[in-house]
Copies of this chain bind each other. A is one copy, B any other.
Amino acid sequence: MAGTVSRTSNVGVATGGESSQRRTSRSGYIKAKFGFRNYWYPAIFSRELTDKPVGVRLLGENILIRRVGDRAMAVADQCLHRGVRFSRKPECYTADTITCWYHGFTYSFTDGKLVEILTEPGSSLIGKLALKTYPVSEAKGIVFVFVGDREPGDLAHDVAPNFLDPDLEIDGIRDEVASNWRLGAENGFDTTHIYIHRDSVLVPGNNLALPLGLVPGDLHGISVYGENEPKGVLDHTFENYQPVFEGKIDGQTVARSKGIGNQKIVAREVSIWMPGMLKVDPFPDPSLIQFEWYVPIDGERHMYWRVLGQRVSDTAEADAFHQEFHNRWKSLALHGFNDEDIRAREGMQEFYQHDKAWAQEHLFKPDRCIVEWRKLASRHNRGIQPPANG
């Protein structure tokens, strides 16, 4: 993982407004209300997918996914004839076709081609129309779909480092959240938002040394990986910040971290990767890594993926991890800690639903990681998704 490490204490954060230069440098990001195009996105867990097609909505596009033999495949979830979604009443008469419930237009999952029309056998349209097909890749128990029009690249280019490591066992959940996807990404990568987690059951429950806040040091090093793939921004939190365990107003202590004196140190590194995947290493335990996605559904909603990874050396360890995931981490960490993040994002949505908010916000010094992420995403994205029905 090569990268350019920039160390600077000039965070480019203005107190009242912001420079036109900074606005320009992140204009791509501001336009990306529906996300970035030409990337792999997680669509559904492998365990959720059978040979019965399922409709998902990614970046405003309706997509139908199905297992065809041992492969997952995807086509547009909209009949070319009268525009209805197949997923309203999916009909699959053969292993690799989808038949529209309305007039029997039947398409191949392999190439999207119209192969038959049950109500007009021999129609002259057969072979002449084709659904858009979506490249699909499956890894780590997750079905990924490539949304875009370029040739899809390697999945490894679009996920955080280590996610695909062979010895990393993965498990997780996904939930719909009522906010734009960027608010999800920024909430996750935001170092000082840990403040909202100070009463989380996870802190005493797992003996975490979680501070209330973080003061950036003089040698605040943020690694920006903009040359190779995957592209991302990494905050060396453990080196960069002075942890704050007591909150004071006018010199009086008013709040105290419940993690003072606790043993386990987590989140030594936090990074975010195009097109919007978070990695918190380690978390929620020194033995685990947490990954997150905030996949645009449309401009006002995203699918929030919370995924944990643990290194295992055999099947027994893998099984033990999945058991602990379901018995312990899902409630204690994913819900017990990250449900607060959902409320925070939904709390920002009222303000950021209007594009002018990006010029009205007032960032502070610890937000430098967010600024770097916006700059990276603006400069290095592979395309901006146009609004659905725009």
User: A residues within 8 Å of B by Cβ?
Assistant: 15-16, 78, 80-85, 88, 93-94, 97, 99, 101-104, 106, 115-125, 128-129, 190, 192-196, 212-216, 244, 247-250, 252, 254-255, 343-344, 347-348, 350-352, 354, 357, 360-366, 389
Contacts and interface: CB of A to CB of B under 8 A. Distances in A.
Contacts of A215: 120-122
Contact of A213 (B121, B192, B363): B121
Contact of A81 (B116, B244, B248, B362): B362
B119 A213 contact: yes
Given A83-B360, A84-B344, A255 B93 contact: yes
A249 B115 contact: yes
B247 A104 contact: yes
A361 B83 contact: yes
A120 B250 contact: no
Contacts of A118: 195, 212-213, 244, 247-249, 254-255
**Which of A120, A190, A365 has the most chain B CB atoms inside 10 A of its CB?**
A120
Contact of A84 (B84, B123, B347): B347
Contacts of A124: 15, 365
B129 A248 contact: no
Given A102-B193, A119-B214, 6 more contacts: A78-B351, A80-B361, A82-B348, A99-B254, A116-B249, A120-B366
A252 B88 CA distance: 25
B83 A364 contact: no
Given A215-B121, A362-B80, A97 B249 contact: yes
A229 B120 CA distance: 33
A80 B367 CA distance: 14
A121 B248 contact: yes
Contacts of A103: 190, 192-193, 195, 213, 364
Number of copies: 3
A106 B255 CA distance: 12
A195 B389 CA distance: 29
21 contacts: A16-B128, A84-B351, A85-B350, A93-B249, A93-B254, A93-B255, A94-B249, A94-B254, A101-B196, A103-B190, A103-B195, A104-B213, A116-B249, A118-B212, A118-B213, A118-B248, A120-B366, A121-B213, A121-B215, A121-B244, A125-B362
A69 B354 CA distance: 37
Contacts of A81: 361-364
**Which of A85, A214, A347, A357 has the most chain B CB atoms inside 10 A of its CB?**
A347
A213 B247 CA distance: 66
Contacts of A93: 247, 249, 254-255
A297 to B, nearest CB: 15
**Which of A101, A118, A360, A365 has the most chain B CB atoms inside 10 A of its CB?**
A118
Contacts of A351: 78, 82-84
Contacts of A106: 249
Contacts of A389: 354
Given A15-B128, A103-B192, A364 B120 contact: yes
**Which of A101, A254, A365 has the most chain B CB atoms inside 10 A of its CB?**
A254
**Which of A88, A123, A213, A249 has the most chain B CB atoms inside 10 A of its CB?**
A249
Contacts of A360: 83
Nearest to A388: B354
Contacts of A247: 93, 104, 118-119, 121
B214 A347 contact: no
Contacts of A129: 15-16, 362
